[in-house]
Amino acid sequence: MKKANQLLVMPRVVDRVGEWYTFPLGIPYVSSALKRAGYNIYTLNLNNVEGDVYDILKYEIERNDIEIISTGGLSFQYNAIKEIVSEAKYIKKDIVTIVGGGIITSVPEVAMEALEFVDYGIIGEGEITNCELTEAIEEGKNIGKIKGIIYKKDGKYVRNLPRPEIEDLDTIPFPDYEGFGFDKIMNAEACTLGINHTNTITMLSSRSCPFQCTFCFHSSGKKYRQRSLNNFFEELDYLVEKYGVKYIFIADELFAYNMERVKEFCSCIKKYDIKWHAQFRVCDITEELVLLLKDSNCEIMGFGLESADNRILKSMKKGITIQQTEKALKLAYDVGIATQGTFIFGDVEETIETATNTLNWWKEHSYYAIGLIFVTTFPGTPIYKYAVEKGIIKDEIAFLKEGCPTINISKMTKDEVAYISQQISILPQQNLKVPFQIRNVEIDKIKKNISFRAKCATCKSDNVWEHVRLFNRNPITCKVCGQRHKMPIMKDIVLEINKNLGELLKESKKIGVWGINDYICEFFEYVDQISDEGIYFIDSSKMKQGSILNGKIVYSPEIIAQEKIDTIIIPLVDYFSVIEKQARAEYKAIVRVISLTDLI
C-alpha cells in the first residue's frame, strides 16, 4: 500500500529568520520517531523561511504531494497553530490535519473546537501515537483503537483511551535537529534566562515532574521519568561533533531530583568544558552541591521561587519555604553561580498583604535579579479549573483564542491589582545594576542586535557581550562572577527611535503599543514621542489593564477598534509573532504591525 507523504511543521515564533529562539523539541522528537518507523516524512521550520505562511505551505504541499500535515505547540501559540491547519485545508481540502502538544493535551475538546480545522488531536506524548495514527490513516485501520487521540465523529468529539507514558526514554530516537534546520541559529546569541552565548542548544534529560504545583501543567504526562546519563551524553557527543555546541539549556521541568545522578552528571559534563543551565528545587541545595555545580561549569541555576510568603507557597503546593529559598540563593550567589527565578503574584490565596510581603523581600534582595510577573492560568492547571468553576473564565474557547491572558483569581481588589501591576512593571529594571565603562559599541541594524565591552558592576571584571538582541528584558550575565545586569539603554538607539516614531505619527494618527514589561517601561522614559496623545498602551493581561505606566493608561486590545488604531508597534521581541497573529486575526482594520526594532 502507498505510504502517505506527511509534512511536519514547526510554528513560527521569530519575527526575522536568523534570530535565536528556544528550539522546541516536541515536533523534532515525533519526526525522528516517524522517520525511524519508515514513513514518508518531510519537515518545515517556519522560523527558517521568510514569507507568508500560506505561500510557504502551498509550495511545500504541492511540491511534495503532501497528504498529512502535522504541527503542535503550547496554548499561547494558538494563532500560529490555527494558521497552519486552516491554510493547509484551504490549499488542499482533503489534507489530513494533526495537532499535538500542550495546546491539545491540556484541554482536548476546547482546543479542537477553537482550532476548527484539526482532524486528529494528539493527547500526551506523540512519538508512538503519531506512528500508529499515520499507519491507520494509510491503511484504513480502525481509528477507535488508537490510544491518546481525539477526533470528531457524527458531530461529537471522541476521546480514545489515554496513552500510557513512555517508560523508557532511552528507546526514543534523538530529536530531528537536521530536519528542522537547527544549524540556522547556532551562530546567534541566545537571549533567554540570562544565557548570553552562541552555539547554545536545548536538551531534555527527563520528562514531567514529580510535583503538582497549582499553576503547572505537565503535557508529557504525570509520571516523572529520567533518561540514562549514557543516553544523554551519547546525544551530546553527537551535538558537539555536528554543531560545536558550547552551552546547554537543559529544559527539564525539574533536573535535580536524584542527587546521586546530579553528581554523576557533573562528573561527566566537566570533561566537555561546556557551560550549562538547569532547574533545581531550593530545598535540595547544599554547599557541597553548589561547589560541585560550579566546578562542572554550571553557569545558571534555575529555581521555582514563586513567592516570599509561606502561606502562598503552601497554597501553590510548592513544598518549599522562603527560608529554604534564602539559603539556596545565598549559597549560589556566594560561589558565583547566577540564579534565575521568578516571583509569581496572583495565586487564589494572594492578598495585598502577602503580595506586599513578597515585594518587600524582593526589594531587600534585589541583587538576585528575581523576575516579577502575574500568574497565568494556563489550560489544564488546577488554577485554570478553579477559574472555570468560579466563572472567572466564562468561555474557555474564547480564553484560548485570546492567548490565555492573565486574569485576577486572587483575593485582591482591582485597585490592589493595579498597584502590584505598577510595581512589577517598574521595580526590576530600577534595581538591576548596569555595566560600566561601556565601549566598543556596535549596533547591527539588520540583525537588530548589539555588541559591546563593559565592566561588571559587581566584580569589576571586563566582559564582552556580543550579538545581544535589542529590547530583550532578559539580563546579561557576567562571564566571571555570574552576576546579572540589565541591558544599558544606548543614547543613539533612543534618538533614532524617537525620530522614527515621530515620522510614523505623521502617517498614522493613532498607534497602539501592544505589550508592556519592566524593560520597555524604563526604555520609554527616554523616548519623548511616547507621550504623544496618539499613542495608546495595550496589553492582553487583564491585570495590567487600567494601570498607569509612563503616564499612560494601559488599555485592553478592544481600544484598537474603539479608537480606529491602524498601526501596532510590538516592543516585546520574544512575543512578536504571537502578538502579531492575534492582532491581525482579531482586528482586520489594522494596516501595519511592526516590531520596535523596525524603528531603528
Side chain identity at residue 200, one-letter code: T
Lowest mean pLDDT among 211-225, 269-283, 462-476: 462-476
For residue 592, the surrounding DSSP H or E stretch is strand 592-595
The residues near 540 (Cβ < 8 Å, ≥ 6 apart) are 402, 403, 405, 406, 556, 557, 579, 582
CA 82 – CA 52 distance, rounded (Å): 14
At 412 the pLDDT is: 97
503-517: string of b/e by CB count within 10 Å (b at 16+)?
ebbeebebbbbbbbb
The one-letter amino acid at 557? P
Q: Under the phi-then-psi rule, with left for phi > 0, alpha for psi from -120 to 50, and beta for the rest, what region is 549?
A: beta
C-alpha cell at 249: 539549556
> Helices 414-431 & 352-364, crossing angle to 10 degrees?
10
Interval 244-254 mean pLDDT: 94
**332, 369 contact by CB (below 8 A):** no
In angstroms, the CA 85 to CA 74 distance is 15
What does the H/E/C string look like for 353-387? HHHHHHHHHHHHCHHHCCEEEECCCCCCCHHHHHH
Of 407-416, 464-473, 491-500, the poorest mean pLDDT is in 464-473
**Which of 18-32, 342-356, 450-464 holds the top average pLDDT?**
342-356
Residue 482 pLDDT exceeds 80:
no
Are both 5-159 and 491-599 of the same fold?
Answer: yes
Longest dimension (CA), the chain: 69
pLDDT band at 427 (very low <50, low <70, confident <90, very high): confident
Structure confidence at residue 233 (pLDDT): 98
13 pLDDT above the threshold of 80: yes
Mean pLDDT across the chain? 93
Cell of 127: 512519538
Nearest Cα to Cα of residue 77 among 31, 121, 24: 24
What is the fold of 491-599? Rossmann fold (3.40.50)
Fold of 186-429: TIM Barrel (3.20.20)
Answer yes or no: are the C-beta atoms of 395 and 402 closer than 8 Å.
no
pLDDT, residue 247, reads 93
Burial of residue 116 (CB within 10 Å: 0-12, 13-18, 19+) is exposed
Q: Is residue 517 over pLDDT 80? A: yes
CA 147-98-388 angle, to 5 degrees, is 75
- Residue 118: strand, helix, or coil: coil
CATH of span 5-159:
3.40.50.280
Is the whole-model pTM more than 0.85? Answer: yes
Q: Which residues pair with 156 in a beta bridge?
A: 153
- Establish how many alpha carbons lie within 13 A of residue 107's alpha carbon, considering only the half-sphere containing its beta carbon: 26
Task: Report the half-sphere exposure of 488 (CA within 13 A, side-chain side).
Answer: 20
1: confidence class by pLDDT, cuts 50, 70, 90? low
Segments making up each domain of the chain, as ranges: 5-159, 186-429, 436-485, 491-599
Residue 252: per-residue pLDDT? 95
Give me the mean pLDDT over the 484-510 stretch.
Answer: 91
The total of other beta-carbon atoms located within 10 Å of residue 531's CB is 11
Greater confidence (99 vs 3) lies with: 99
Element containing residue 69 per DSSP (H, E): strand 68-72
Which of the four pLDDT bands, split at 50, 70 and 90, describes residue 355?
A: very high
Average pLDDT (373-379) is 95
